[in-house]
Structure 1
Amino acid sequence: MGKLKTLQIIKTFPRNIHIMVASEALCALAMGMFFFLQILYYDFIGLSAEAIGTIFSLGSLFTLTGFFVGPFIKILGRKRILCIGLLICAIGVGFHMGFRAMIILMFGQILINIGTCLINVTELQLLYSYTIGKKECCAYSYKYSVNLIAGAVGALIAGNITGIEYFARIGYKKLFILAAIILIVTSTIRCFLLPKDITNVAENEEVKKSMRETIECLKSDKQIRLFSMLLFINAIGFSGVAPYNNLILKNYFGLGNNVISYITFSLTILSMFGLILMPGIIERMGVKKFNLTVFIIAIISCLMLAVVSNNELFILFLVIRGISVGLIIYSLDSLMMSNIAIEHRDIFASLKMLSNGFSVAIGNFLGGTILNNLGYRYNYLYGFIILICGTIFFYLKVRIYMKSTTINRSCSCNFKARHIEYKK
């Protein structure tokens, strides 16, 4: 019955939401294929882990573009910026198709990060603009579930597609063109099938005004400063480990692309179930116990990854770490946003993008340098140390600003388990 009710809820969504989610599946499929193959391709053409880290690091810096996009939404409209972002991503992916020079691959990565940034700052608000009857949480969960599944399928396809004789013969780098074509198709669908944007003339010096308000809020609001610092610590740790997992599995444990794709698929699906169950667990355990438990699991699993050599044990702890880190990111994101005044949430979202841009760039570079010079065990040891720092900072500095929690049950649909609101 639950599944039938869920299908009934999905059927009630407006046509525009179904177009958004269907095209989201195409986009996630393409990016799932590309991101799975990307680092393996870099390794295939002989780039060192340090060079790979440099490419990712410089690309991450350009996610700062999102900090300046807000005022231009009024001029161009969200849909147009979203479609432009998809096309920029497609061009960036296309640069990986026929080139091996590091400088060109770096430029491609920069384009991918800029495009992804434009997508992230417009896609969700555009989806919300199509919802009716205050069903934002349902629409978000619908989109997010499809995104996770399609991304996992993309990785699965990428890992096994070389088993097809034609693709095995031409080399998997040529598969990047398939991802680029899918992104172009996604952009075309959204451009022509979604409603026309409502645009306005932006106020004079709105970019400067936005930056000035952000800086003033950062100076005056200690809570936002602490939240931003916690995000910085966590992101600098996660980004020094996660991008290199597939490379480690291939080079240090001798696994093939197909096996790695099965691991990626399993991790994604299990993470999705973890996110679905998380609100109910928080309701029973409370925020403090839940976050402490998840942090401890992530810390222990990261330490074990630095110690174990057995393939099966390594994969087990890798999956456990991936799920726990995903829960940390989602839980803290919901927790922080719910504890910030409504009028400051847009500012915090901008600061979060700014913080992530710098921290991910630093983490990517450190992770590549560590892997290249010290070996993979030190990557996970690095992640272990940063996780401990993040846990200590959370419980000594941030926790006192958090409210106790209840789960918001105001929405009666089956997706409500994803919508968390923290109250006194």
Structure 2
Amino acid sequence: MNGRKNGATKLCSALLVAGALTLTAACGGGDSGGGDGTTTLRVAWWGNDTRQAITEEVLDLFMEKNEDIKVEMEYSDWDNYYDRLTTQMASGDAPDVFSTEIRRMGEFGTRNALADLDGLVDMSGLDPQLLQSGQLEGTQYAIPTGVNAFIIAANKTVLDEAGIELPDDTTWTWDDYRDFAAEVTAATGDGTYGTQLSFNDAYLNIYAQQHGEIFYGEDGKIGMSEEVIADWYTFQQDLIDSKASPDASRSAELGSTGVEASLVATNKGAFGMWWSNQLNAITTGSGSEIVLLRMPKDADAVSGGHFLQPNMFWSVAASSGKKEAAGQLVDFLVNDPEAAAIIGSDRGLPRNEAVLEEIRAGLPETDQASLEFIGALADELNDPPKANPNGAGEMPAMLERYGQEVVFGRMTPQEAASGFISEANSVLSK
């Protein structure tokens, strides 16, 4: 009996390596617990040291409340996370519970690597519209941890030093943004700039929606026109030409750093484009007052383009033999007020309104500011994004690579837009 089981396991592992993730569910195994009645769950996530400490604290609390469940923690930095997770899935050794983000969740879901969470997690208190971001063809494969908005972070100290008042973010245009930033650079003259470039796909998504277009079409391919993408690349070049941002070389260096080393977080920039849950990191790094602003938009924009996006998701492996306990853990992470108080906005602001009301008063000032900002956007928001198509994880690096070709003068914006669409569509699929 054991020999047959071991042989089947080896065969299954071999098939998984050959077929990537598509057979993960069929190869799942494992019992429901140990000989002492304790169920052991493996949990994986990525992040910095702060997130690691927060996650360990909340998982310790879960174990205190659920003495029959033990959690083994598997932490990784961002650069290695998906390579490790994909390898684990391919070998039939995926963690029971793990984090994904919207660019990769859909890929795992379409390859049968994620469990259906209906009946495993109480979703009655969660934002139903946001839950759709974790669905594929009506099946809930992932639970949002919280929400973010992609925003402009304005460093009030740098603006004051430049003698420039905060702009009115309900009326400013992209030309205004460039001009404000260029004025800061001219007024400071000490290596401080108005802003820095961003090739984030969320930024392009907002820009496209302002022009009535969508990042991904219903066919899973790029839904944006070549003209809109070329205009977006042109604006990046305009920021350099007007000295609103550093030159191409310095911009490339900044593009490889995180929020903590950004210009706005080091008091070397007035504006920066970041996610709202990064406000605390920017404020802590700069020691300055940081104000959240809407993205600029031109007078003919069809909308402001803003949307709430799940910061990340919790999913359960289809291969897990401990789905009930795994669902219990995910439920705790998104529905328990004590857990929410520990996590705060690290994984986005909670969208369980009952939980949020319980912890709101204890949230730090930066989280309160993020809540206030998102509340002010409530009537302006477009729908949350759907699960991204397979290959979406390649888009950020691809957008930046073509952007570098533009700012270093090796491609025109039109050539970069055409090249991006062609290459992107070659790797995207539903």
Normalised to the residue count of structure 1, the TM-score between the two structures is: 0.22
Q: Would you tell me which structure has more helix in proportion to its own residues?
A: 1
Q: Would you tell me which structure has more strand in proportion to its own residues?
A: 2
If you compute each CA radius of gyration, which structure gives the higher value, 1 or 2? 2
Normalised to the residue count of structure 2, the TM-score between the two structures is: 0.22
